[in-house]
Amino acid sequence: MKPEDTVRFGMRALFGYPARTLLVLLAMAMGVASVILLTALGEGARRYVAQEFTSLGTHLLFVLPGRSETVGGPPPLLASTPRDLTLEDAMALTRIPSVERVAPVSVGAAPVSWRERHREVTLLGSTAALFEIRQLAMSQGSFLPAGDPFRGEGIAVLGHKVKRELFGNRNALGEWIRIQDRRFRVIGVMTPKGQSLGMDMSDTAVIPVASALSLFDTESLFRIILQAKSRQTVDRVKDSVIKVIRERHEGEDDITVITQDAILSTFDRILSTMTLTVTGIAAVSLVVAGILIMNVMLISVSQRRTEIGLLKALGARSAQILRLFLTEASVLSMAGAGIGVAIGYAGAWVLAGMFPAFPLQVPLWSLAAAVLTALVNGLIFGVIPARRASYLDPVQALAKR
Amino acid sequence: MIRLLDVDRVFEVGEEPVYALKAVTLSMTAGTYASVMGPSGSGKSTLLNIIGLLDRPSRGKYLLEDVDTTHLSDDEQARVRREKIGFVFQFFHLVPRLTAAENIELPLILAGVNAGERKDRVREALTSLGIRGRSRHRPDQLSGGQRQRVAIARAVVMRPRIILADEPTGNLDRASGNEVIEILEELNRTGISLILVTHDPALGDRASRKIIMEDGEIVSDTLKN
Ligand SMILES: Nc1ncnc2c1ncn2[C@@H]1O[C@H](COP(=O)(O)OP(=O)(O)OP(=O)(O)O)[C@@H](O)[C@H]1O
Ligand SMILES: [Mg+2]
């Protein structure tokens, strides 16, 4: 029997029982489509995070007060702070050779008012370096000017949202606002740049770091952000930072330095695991589809007993019968996989249209894995029914029942 | 060409052995036209199945064209079946989803004949059985007589040496039954051996050799003049 005839015979059999064929196709297609969609989502999430991190600026290091035992983990939330990280510490770091920029950061919330309008705003005390490091952009005026970081000038740069809520459509540039009991002059308004990893810049006001420290009445910085000259120098800079701070802190290692790469790879690991997990869950539906194929093929074998007996009477070998039913199961799962791939891609396309910011993409490995699983599935779950068919005794099968 | 030597076919039903065939010895020359008659359960179908290599004797020998078939493997038996034997059944056993032409094509497909030759031979078989106009009909669109003609066309499309017909008229009215018998006899006149199982004495009498069975044994085997 020629292979093309085997396939044609299988196809005819599938078209001969449209209801069961559609049922199995649907199950297979859903399984494959969900594997493809879920991996696309997981992969998209990974890319999204990576993209966000680059938008944060490149080759950055974050220096946090307090020692964290885990290297490369997320910032310690409840670490004790034995010694403050001061503005002097930050300035000392600018002398490290491969450091491009240093932005000391102080964070706190304070009431901000303009005329009769009041609002609680997140204040970010920093220097001109923050502009480059966070890759900010101005819609009006200018950012904090470069200058002596220890001078606490009364100037402020407003986030887009803060400006809108305090001033509405009115001009804010040059206006005096009140933060707690001090007066600050608005020198710039930032563009509505999106949220970047939990920190919504449009909901903040940036003031000189010295002003912020005196406003909050503290010496201690929230963190220091460094930008290395290049990616290759990041690790060297990290070592230097630890050394410089140790010298300044009487030989104590009481800071944590996290590189952007380390954070990124942590997220990457988490999201990859997540993707694999949801893919695994989706793959279960493929197995379910496989079992369905097996059941449907078993029903088909018992429905077609006389047909099988007849084929044997016509001189079909057992191996031919086996091949016929296996082919049928494979054609079924292949067609199901094909439809599933189409549905998966269509779904990904629709989602991509709905959320343009989300870099949705079907990873090639998942496509290959889904289709391969579907095929192997069809074969494995097709074997039992096919064997049953090939073992059928033709005399029994053809006997009147 | 057919020689059965002391053949038993025993079925185990519970503890009791049931002899479907008991010490059957039989030989037939090529071109024979034989009818097999006997009461229900006398072993007629079993005999036909053994001759058609769908079943194996429990004891004894079966030689087909001087080849001892009892030692053939299943696959070799399938090949003999495909090339030398055509079956015609009481219930036609057409594949319901396939057209008449496709049903007739089945043995050719199984034998790996290529598509061009298949088409010619199917057309030839359809023509000789007078059902060319029905080639695209599915079995449920055909009358019983037409279905049996399709089944016969399928049995002869491989040009077998023997046709085994187990009550081929059992499901037909007298008129179409007679037509079917005439077709089979016509085939027999071309040299194909024909073995016909029937309950109808009138049909049984038409054969040149008449075998009567009872309880698995041949009780009478007569030649017409
Ligand atoms: N698979 C089987 N298992 C047990 N007994 C069987 C089996 N097949 C046939 N027999 C028995 O063998 C005997 C002969 O059966 P067979 O079918 O050959 O009879 P038959 O002459 O064709 O009868 P009918 O005229 O009803 O078709 C019967 O007694 C039957 O019960
Ligand atoms: Mg019978």
B148 Cα–ligand 2 center, Å: 17
Q: What is the dihedral of CA A124, A130, A136, A140, to 10 degrees?
A: 70
Residue B113: closest CA among A116, A198, A315: A315
Contact A196, A133 (CB under 8 A): no
Instruction: Give chain B positions within 8 Å (CB) of A13.
Output: 97
Q: Which residues pair with residue B213 across a beta bridge?
A: B218
Residue A220 has pLDDT above 60, yes or no: yes
Contact B82, A313 (CB under 8 A): no
Amino acid at B173: D
Token output for A267:
């997220």
Nearest chain B alpha carbon to A8? B109
From start to end of A304-351, where are the E strands?
A: none
Interchain contact B154–A (C-beta under 8 A): yes
Rounded CA-CA distance A42/A273 in Å is: 9
Contact A57, A135 (CB under 8 A): yes
CA distances from B53 to A168, A179, A349 (A): 96, 102, 59
Contacts of A186 (CB under 8 A, 6+ apart): A141, A155, A156, A157, A158, A163, A172, A173, A174, A175, A176, A177
Rounded CA-CA distance A97/B171 in Å is: 102
**Other C-beta atoms within 10 Å of B36: how many?**
28
B9-30 per-position pLDDT tens digit: 999 988 889 999 999 999 999 9
Nearest chain A alpha carbon to B113? A1
Tally helices (H) and strands (E) across chain B: 7, 10
Give the total residue count for chain A.
Answer: 401
Contact A71, A61 (CB under 8 A): no
Rounded CA-CA distance A145/A150 in Å is: 13
What pLDDT does A230 receive? Answer: 87
Return the higher-pLDDT residue of A283 and B49.
B49
Q: What is the rounded average pLDDT of the residues B164-192? A: 94
A36-89 per-position pLDDT tens digit: 888 888 888 888 888 777 766 678 899 988 876 554 555 555 544 467 899 999
Give the total residue count for chain B.
Answer: 225
Q: Which ligand sits nearest to residue B14's alpha carbon?
A: 1
Q: Which domains does chain B have, with CATH numbers?
A: 2-223 (3.40.50.300)
What pLDDT does B112 receive? Answer: 92
CA distances from A64 to A24, A76, A80, A258, A365 (A): 57, 9, 11, 8, 39
What pLDDT does A133 receive? Answer: 86
Residue B172 has pLDDT above 80, yes or no: yes
Query: Element (H or E) spanning A185, and its range?
Result: strand A182-190
Q: Poorest-confidence range of A245-249, A251-255, A386-390?
A: A251-255
**Per-residue b/e over B169-206, b at no fewer than 16 CB within 10 Å?**
bbbbeeebbbbbbebbeebbeeebbbbbbbebeebbeb
Burial class (CB in 10 A: 0-12, 13-18, 19+), A69: exposed
CB-side exposure of B53: number of CA atoms within 13 Å? 33
Rounded CA-CA distance B168/B197 in Å is: 8
What pLDDT does A48 receive? Answer: 84
B132-147 per-position pLDDT tens digit: 999 999 999 999 999 9
**Other C-beta atoms within 10 Å of B112: how many?**
11
* C-beta of B135 in contact with ligand 1 (< 6 A): no
Contact A187, A157 (CB under 8 A): yes
B196 — pLDDT class (breaks 50, 70, 90): very high
Interchain contact B119–A (C-beta under 8 A): no
Q: Which ligand sits nearest to residue B20's alpha carbon?
A: 1
DSSP string, A47-78: HHHHHHHHHT-SSEEEEEES--SSSSSSPPSS
What pLDDT does A78 receive? Answer: 52
Mutate which of B11, B21, B54, B90 to test ligand 1's pocket (most atoms within 8 Å of Cβ)?
B11
Residue A84: closest CA among A259, A222, A207: A222
Return the higher-pLDDT residue of B214 and A50.
B214
According to DSSP, residue B167 is labeled S
Could A315 and B78 be called an inter-chain contact, meaning their C-beta atoms sit closer than 8 Å? yes
* C-beta of B14 in contact with ligand 1 (< 6 A): no
Could B154 and A314 be called an inter-chain contact, meaning their C-beta atoms sit closer than 8 Å? yes
What pLDDT does B87 receive? Answer: 96
With tokens 């059965």, the residue in question is B4
Token output for A181:
């009991």
The percent of residues in chain A predicted with pLDDT above 90, rounded, is 39
State chain B's mean pLDDT as an integer: 94
B43-96 per-position pLDDT tens digit: 999 999 999 999 999 999 999 999 999 999 999 999 999 999 999 999 999 999
Residue A82: closest CA among A253, A210, A325, A197: A253
Rounded CA-CA distance B184/B163 in Å is: 8
**Torsion sign, CA atoms A95, A97, A101, A102:** negative
What pLDDT does A81 receive? Answer: 46
What pLDDT does A56 receive? Answer: 66
Interchain contact B114–A (C-beta under 8 A): yes
Which residue intervals of A94-180 are DSSP H helices?
129-133, 160-167
